[in-house]
Amino acid sequence: MKTIDKLAWIEIHDGRILSTRSKGRSKYYIPGGKREENENDFAALSREIKEELDVDLVEETVNYFGTFQAQADSHPEGVEVKMTCYTGSFQGTIQPANEIEEVVWLGYADREKVSPVDQIIFDWLKEEKLLS
């Protein structure tokens, strides 16, 4: 089994989670991405968030949130994605940048619009009463 190692930023406001849709895609994804060689989690996550949303994560506020794993979207069966998630404050105004076409705030009712690993995260957030 192959595992894709990714990082994600969990930003929740008023019971809704920040999600993005890349150009040419129909599903929404929690913002983040893969680390480059020799990057630690914060360096990779902050780089990805800057590239996707044009905001800067505030390092001293970034905290581990959880790790979730599921079948990788748009990959052959047996390829899984492991998503290590963090929360944290940011500076700037969130806006779509580079490959991101749309930025949205999703509730639990939008669960079917996201990737399998994001669905697991949505379920956990709903259980914890963080997502409405």
Q: What is the pLDDT of residue 64?
A: 98
pLDDT of residue 51: 97
Tell me what pLDDT residue 74 has. Answer: 81
Rounded to 5 degrees, what are φ and ψ at 8?
-140, 150
Hey, where are the domains in the chain? 2-127
Whether domain 2-127 has CATH 3.90.79.10: the reply is: yes
* 105 in Cβ contact with 89 (< 8 Å): no
Question: How many CB atoms lie under 10 A from the CB of residue 9?
Answer: 24
Distance CA 34, CA 51 (A): 12
pLDDT tens digit at each of 132 positions of the chain: 799 999 999 999 999 999 999 999 999 999 999 999 999 999 999 999 999 999 999 999 999 999 999 988 888 888 999 999 999 999 999 999 999 999 999 999 999 999 999 999 999 999 999 999
The whole-angstrom separation of Cα 56 and Cα 86 is: 14
3-state secondary structure string across the chain: CEEEEEEEECCEECCEEEEEEECCCCCEECCEECCCCCCCHHHHHHHHHHHHHCCEECHHHCEEEEEEEEECCCCCCCEEEEEEEEECCEECCCCCCCCEEEEEEECHHHHHHECHHHHHHHHHHHHCCCCC
Specify the pTM: 0.93
